[in-house]
Structure 1
Amino acid sequence: MNSVSVRALLIRGMFAGLLAGVLALAVAYFLGESRLDAAIALEESHAHTHTHEHGEELVSRTMQATGGLATGILVFGVAIGGIAALVFCYALGRIGAFGPRATAALIAGAALLTVYVVPFLKYPANPPAVGDPDTIGQRTGLFFLMIALSVLLAVAAVLAGRRLAQRLGNWNAAVSAGAGYVLAIGLAYAFLPSFDEVGADFPAGLLWQFRLSTLAVQVTLWTTFGLAFGYLTERLLVGAGAAGQAAPRGAGVGAGVAH
């Protein structure tokens, strides 16, 4: 079987991440920035002396909404694309009889769920004027802790599912491992502190529009990455030679990735 270098997959992962970042940037700009501007206007209307106390902004709002936003999302897209490509190198052929596109889609979906959706449900994004400035450090730390717990528990669930499959079968093992993950996340939700710092005068509609726009950015990013990376890797791996078809059942293309 022909070997495919990790470097080739890594480059395609980063390119797919860049493409996903471009589309996510469009969603963030056209869907999220208007909500952010509205929240900033509310914040400034409740702080009459804000401008006099802090003086001129170091970075203008225009730069934040254009260059700053683009840099952050595009760099993030390339970074997660490279990381996901490395995960793909390990996962292909080891998580079932899935082809490159299906494996890429599963990785993207799992990343969206574990890295963003699960932490988001516990600690959703807040626009300006929402939240106590004195707790922002604690809230940020807990959000990243929730990400770490979610990822580690997901990895543990996958490993447990593989072991249970020998005794329970693939379907029952997957259900059992998934139930264990949900239970563990539920316990984390219950024991980690929560924050309810939304003021009574802040429009509920604007709050949820802002939160849904941040969720839409992540859904766009990971969905685009999964589709683009799956397409690119399938072309690469199929083009690497027909020897992949002669590989033993279950070995998968991932077993032939050269390190």
Structure 2
Amino acid sequence: MVGKLLVRGMLAGIAAGLLTFGFARVVGEPQVNQAISFEEKAEAAKGETPEPEIVSRDTQQGIGLLTGVLTYGAAFGGLFSLVFAYAYGRVGALSPRALSAWLALGAFIALAVVPNLKYPANPPSVGDPETIGTRTGLFFLMIAISLAAMVFSLKVRRRAAMKLGAWNGSIVGAVVFIAIIAAVQLSMPTINEVPEAFPAVLLWKFRVAALGMQAIMWATVGLLFGALVERSVLTRVGGRPAVKSA
């Protein structure tokens, strides 16, 4: 079962990567180009010499971007399929499509929404190069905390549902998750390195585009993977789900 699911997950991730690439080229890259132009003008005003390009912009926004999103999509699509294989049959009588959609929504919240609320993506010319290690570490720490909080809140939800019902149990689990994330984000250090002269509209559009890429990636993985698995016959073998080709 796992091998077949892994292939389906990677295929869904590759398809998601292609859609994400198209969105990034049309919506995201124009914001990056404007940010680079702003950075070049700021350096020229200070009399600084522009650093030579190691990789051209054409390569960055072409084959480089495509390779990056396809690799990301295939990798996370494979991981998604492994999580699905573990969760299927353990989280109630959800159909493959429903479970896949819920897992994708959870991944989008835990891996994209929560960390970006505290440490949103920044375009070129925003951020101090000397703090990039600290900012990266805090971002991944926020992801780890978000995943741990989600797993914990799901356990709380399961126990609460036994006493209060599924709907009320879900509300309790959501409240617990939000409370944990709010407390953690308030306690973690805030980083704001946006130059005063940087256009606020450009910053907003860039961050919306970055979050939009994640939304397209996870929506496609969740919906397409569920559809691919739904085409197979799911049976129980030794108490665990297995896949037989239809």
| Interval containing the TM-score (normalised by the shorter chain) | over 0.9
Unaligned stretches of 5+ in structure 1? none
Q: Using the TM superposition, give the Cα deviation of residue 175 of structure 1 relative to its aligned residue in structure 2, in angstroms.
A: 1.2
Higher relative contact order (CA 8 A, sep 6+): 1
Q: Distance in 1 between matches of 2:184 and 2:131?
A: 20
Match of 1:99 among 95, 100, 107: 95
Q: Using the TM superposition, give the Cα deviation of residue 96 of structure 1 relative to its aligned residue in structure 2, in angstroms.
A: 2.1
Say whether residues 1:86 and 2:82 are aligned partners. yes
Over the matched positions of the two proteins, sequence identity in percent amounts to: 45
Q: Using the TM superposition, give the Cα deviation of residue 50 of structure 1 relative to its aligned residue in structure 2, in angstroms.
A: 4.6
What residue number does 2:185 align with? 189
Q: Using the TM superposition, give the Cα deviation of residue 203 of structure 1 relative to its aligned residue in structure 2, in angstroms.
A: 0.6
Match of 1:111 among 101, 107, 115: 107
Equivalent positions of 1:19-30 (< 5 A) are 19-30=15-26
Unaligned stretches of 5+ in structure 2? none
Q: Distance in 2 between matches of 1:172 and 1:27?
A: 38
Equivalent positions of 1:235-246 (< 5 A) are 235-237=231-233, 244=235
What residue number does 1:178 align with? 174
Structure 2-normalised TM-score? Answer: 0.93
Q: Distance in 1 between matches of 2:130 and 2:189?
A: 15
Is residue 125–residue 214 contact of structure 1 (8 Å, CA) maintained in 2? yes
Equivalent positions of 1:226-237 (< 5 A) are 226-237=222-233
Amino acid in the other structure paired with 1:165: A
Structure 1-normalised TM-score? Answer: 0.88
Is residue 89–residue 241 contact of structure 2 (8 Å, CA) maintained in 1? no
* Per-residue Cα deviation, 1:85-135 (whole angstroms, up to 9, x for no partner): 011111122222210111110011110011101111111101011122222
Say whether residues 1:169 and 2:165 are aligned partners. yes
Aligned pairs, number: 241
The alignment's C-alpha RMSD in Å is 1.9
Q: Distance in 2 between matches of 1:236 and 1:51?
A: 60
Is residue 44–residue 50 contact of structure 1 (8 Å, CA) maintained in 2? no
What residue number does 2:60 align with? 64
Equivalent positions of 1:96-175 (< 5 A) are 96-175=92-171
Amino acid in the other structure paired with 2:71: V
